[in-house]
Amino acid sequence: MRRGNFKVRIFIFIAIAAFAYLRKCSQEEINPYTGKKQAISLSPQEEIAIGLQSAPGMAQQHGGLHPNNEYQALVDNVGNKLVNSSIAKATPYKYDFHLLADQNTINAFALPGGQIFITYALFSKLENKDQLAGVLGHEIGHVLGKHSNERITNANFWKVLAMGSSAIDMGGVAQQMGQGQLLKNGRGDELESDELGVQFMIEAGYNPEEMIGVMEILKAAAGPNRVPEFQSTHPDPENRIEKIREAIENYRYKKAS
């Protein structure tokens, strides 16, 4: 009887896994801005709606918007110059740049659809407009790369797979595999955004070498106790610096040839 029950559970798992896999395959498409094949479940309009809906709450978590209009205007000017000089201008996304009042958290992030944030804690450590362009260009890269969209789609895939795996008492294994895959994908997203950021900086007339300075700031902020790369969604700053240098050389070579 138990063996029969186990066969039924195996069948249920296979059916759910097949459904999840086929649904994910049906969602795959080529990103028109990066050429990368991705599983995407949200339309650009849905991405924009999620970003606009989430933006006020994200700002509130970081102490609201910074009250200095001059600083905000600088962020707007640099961000808009990056957008208007690159392929970002031809996308359906609505880019808004927000300087957050948070003086403690050194961070910048992007929501789906074009809502981009930088904390004052990071802004205040930047030495020039080029470094600011490096930060904002990287975040624009996340939007064009549809990274949040892809992560939402992949998370849903692993959630369904974990539900099927629970039928054979393997739900925890599937969940761990999913978390590991999402961490790996996250590191890939960061490197792709760095590369796109370099491209946007060069096209807008900013010095891409200054993005290396941003990495040094992030490295110093993390200190000696930073999370090991294999446990983090972000690559180690040293690895990012190496890849940024490669991206600068590659893009300059393409532009010259």
Domain segments of the chain as ranges: 40-256
**pLDDT for residue 153:** 80
pLDDT at 158: 58
pLDDT at 233: 53
Instruction: Specify the pLDDT at position 82.
Output: 98
Instruction: Quote the pTM value.
Output: 0.79
Which residue ranges of the chain lie beneath pLDDT 50?
1, 167, 171, 173-174, 177-178, 180-185, 227-232
Output the CA–CA distances (angstroms, integers) from residue 202 to 2, 78, 109, 254, in the order listed.
65, 13, 21, 12
What's the confidence (pLDDT) of residue 46? 93
| Tokens matching residue 191 | 């490197």
Query: What's phi and psi for 46, nearest 5 deg?
Result: -70, -40
How much is the pLDDT for 59? 96
